[in-house]
Chain A
Amino acid sequence: MESKRSKYVLISLTVFCVLLIGLTSMRDEWLTPLRTGVGYILIPVQSGVNSVGSSIYGEITDLSKLRNAQKENREMKDIITQLTEENTRLQSEELELNRLRKLYGLDQQYGQYEKVGARVIANDSSNWFQVFRIDKGSKDGIAVNMNVMAGGGLVGIVTDVGANYATVRSIIDDSSRVSGMAMQSGDSCIIAGDLTLFKEGRLRITNVLKESDLKDGDKIVTSNISSVFLPGLLVGYASDITNDSNNVTKSGYLVPAAEFDSLQDVLVVTKLKSDMMKEEASKENPPAETQATEGASR
């Protein structure tokens, strides 16, 4: 009798799951209240366990780190002197740059977006997916599709937000696609995460036109044409660019600027590309303008 009942329960739960998968793959926002509700209970537990774990682990590794730190410290001091020198030189150059920028009317200054710091509290433990969770959510102004950075480079994008947490998909995840461009030559490309390259710490660069001037070592930044990534964020450096067999495109690899194996703190850029595009559209197209140009600018 009991086995029959459990069979019915199993079948009904299966049907329920399949229905839910179907529904939520079309509309994900229905689940936000549920996820947020559970988040209120689960997130404090997760961040608690995380901080306890990291402090214990930190204590253990501190000793070995200390020795390295002393050595690094000596090297750093040398670097600092070099950098101060360079800095003063750059400062004078920046003044010049600002003057020239004004001259050219370039009012977009990339890389000066407002950011919110967040701590990584949970990671996917299996190697299939590269997603992680941070301890800031919609309460702190985080929204879906915000860009996440660390160590000066792009790390990922917010895919899901609760009141006190947000889930971030790294750019090294197999399903991640970022449209990028070479900083010097302006050639566009697609930066794709690839699970088979994950161990080498590299990503794939594809869809580069063969005539383009992309070379090994070129800085790759997010492109203007991306719909979700803000323009001009550093992603990494190109390497091993070769011609494809189809003789139309080139492809290669990208060494990311951010380090992914030791992500602890990240910065979330609180400006959304969609807002930025709206602002630009309203700036460029006063209401009197025709429909056609508005469509083109989007």
Chain B
Amino acid sequence: MRRIFFNVLLIILAFTIQNCIFPLLPFLSASPNLLLILTFSFGFIHGKEAGMYYGLLSGLLMDLFYTGPFGFYTLIFLYVGYVNGICTKYYYEDYITLPLILSVLNELAYNFYIYVFRFLIRQKLRVGYYFINIVLPEIIFTVVTTLLLYRVFLILNRHLEDTGKRGDSNIV
């Protein structure tokens, strides 16, 4: 329970940082997609159902920020959470390679989704340019941030689980 509350708080914080702090830093040519990192990490650590709900929350926040059709981001974040949740069977702590590969794949899928539904349908065909100038920098930033954040999540998760268990045994 405490863990869920904490994770929800973390997602809202990530959303605010992503939209209010990163754009202030002019030396960042691209910025990591924190919401995507959070969604897929939670999915990967806690399983597909939890991932799906965290994805739902992240997506709703994004949709509320933008003006376009509502549900556009919710849909992709929902699937990011769910699909990464399937990979949870390969999850064991301190194994960092798989999360990194997943973060690259997620970024590719996410940006591809935006490209197809927001640019390709308007006959913007310069895929190569978009990939090199927009997608690639974002992937690099996201992977580096995943490398840093994923460990933090693990430690946090372990800590919260420990205290949670202790709390339960105390009640018993």
Interface set of A (CB-CB < 8 Å, partner B): 2-3, 5-6, 9-10, 13-14, 16-22, 24-25, 28, 31, 34-35, 38-39, 42, 45-47, 49-50, 53-54, 57, 121-129, 131-133, 159-160, 167, 169, 174-175, 195-196, 199, 261-262
Contact = CB atoms under 8 A, between A and B. Distances in A.
Contacts of B69: 20-22, 24-25
Interface in B56-81: 56, 61, 64-72, 74-75, 78-79
Contacts of B75: 14, 17-18, 21
Contacts of A160: 67
Given A53-B24, A121-B20, A128-B118, A20 B71 contact: yes
A201 to B, nearest CB: 13
Nearest to A19: B71
B70 A20 contact: yes
A182 B33 CA distance: 40
B152 interface: no
B48 A49 contact: no
B133 interface: yes
A35 B64 contact: yes
22 contacts: A2-B49, A10-B52, A17-B74, A17-B78, A20-B69, A20-B71, A21-B72, A24-B69, A38-B64, A45-B16, A49-B20, A122-B16, A122-B20, A122-B23, A124-B19, A124-B65, A125-B18, A128-B134, A129-B66, A131-B67, A167-B67, A174-B122
A18 B20 contact: no
Interface string B71-107: 1101100110010000000000000000000000000
Contact of B24 (A13, A57, A195): A57
Q: Is the interface of A mostly helix, strand, loop or mixed?
A: helix
Nearest to B83: A10
Contacts of B172: none
Contacts of B133: 127, 196, 199
Contacts of B72: 21
A123 B134 contact: no
